[in-house]
Amino acid sequence: MTAVRTPTLAAAKLVFQRDMTLAWRRWDEVAQPLIFYVVVTTMFPLATTPDLSALREIGGGVVWVAALLASLLALEALFRADVEDGTTEQWVLSGQPLGYLLLAKVAAHWVLTGLPLVIMSPIVGTGLGLPTSAWGVLMASLLLGTGTLSILGGIGAALTVGVRRGSVLLSLLVLPLAMPLLIFGSRAVSMQMDGDSPAGPLQLLAAIFFMALSLGPIAMSAAIRISVEN
């Protein structure tokens, strides 16, 4: 038997495929953040006012807060199962760059939890009185924002996976880092609705995203290596 070493890209693809396959068999867990997101945003008009012009004032912010909390909800379990059953140990020992494998896992997580929030946002936005003209900016800001959140959350989840009751710690770690996203994201939406150009906050969101994308894998792999030491 002669072994051909798997190229890194193919290995990352396998990790991605694996998580998709697993999610398909556990769809109820994957759907949870989306349900949370829809429920929270529909509760707002019930709890405050059904007046669309009043809702429009806070609509962008509500969608953003709900998306942020929904993403956070799914993060805690990100690496837990893999660390507990020893899969991450094998990833560390696979001879592949660990950062890429973890980034592939985070990408799968984003496709399963972040992307549905983005796709759903025009619908929940309409319920909160957001005009069609704001849809594009809302989706673009959430696209960059949920992507960044998945990576930041990945770092947090990797750091807290070996800690008991890590979920509290995870929120404390990730929420402060997510504040700029929330501020720029909801600002972009409200600027668009006020007739200003939202380019500024969107570019800042993109800058944060690329920073997270380039440095995130390094931080995640370092954190996972510490977590498997136990």
Partner 1 sequence: MTFDGAVFEARAINAWRGDRHILRDVSFSVRPGEFLKVTGPNGVGKTTLLRVICGLLPAETGELWWRGQSVRGRRDEFNFELGHLGHLNSLKGDLTARENLKFLAGLRTTLTAQTIDATLDRVGILSRGDLPARSLSAGQKRRLALARLLLADAALWILDEPVTNLDTAGIRLVEELIVDHVQNGGLAIAAAHQRLLDDAPCLRRLELEP
Catalog residues that contact partner 1 under the rule CB under 8 A. Answer: 1-6, 10-11, 14-15, 17-18, 21-22, 25-26, 85-87, 89-97, 101, 228-229
Query: CA 3 → CA 7, 8, 101, distances in Å?
Result: 12, 15, 20
Count, residues in the chain: 230
189 close to 58: Cβ distance less than 8 angstroms: no
Residue holding tokens 């696979």?
Answer: 94
Residue holding tokens 């290596």?
Answer: 225
**CA atoms of 88 and 74, how far apart (whole Å):** 19
> For the packed helices 52-75 and 115-127, what is the interaxial angle rounded to 10 degrees?
160
Nearer to partner 1, 41 or 96 (CB): 96
Nearer to partner 1, 57 or 89 (CB): 89
Nearer to partner 1, 81 or 207 (CB): 81
Shortest Cβ distance from residue 214 to partner 1 (Å)? 20
**CA atoms of 125 and 42, how far apart (whole Å):** 10
Nearer to partner 1, 3 or 47 (CB): 3
Shortest Cβ distance from residue 11 to partner 1 (Å)? 5
Shortest Cβ distance from residue 122 to partner 1 (Å)? 33
Shortest Cβ distance from residue 170 to partner 1 (Å)? 23
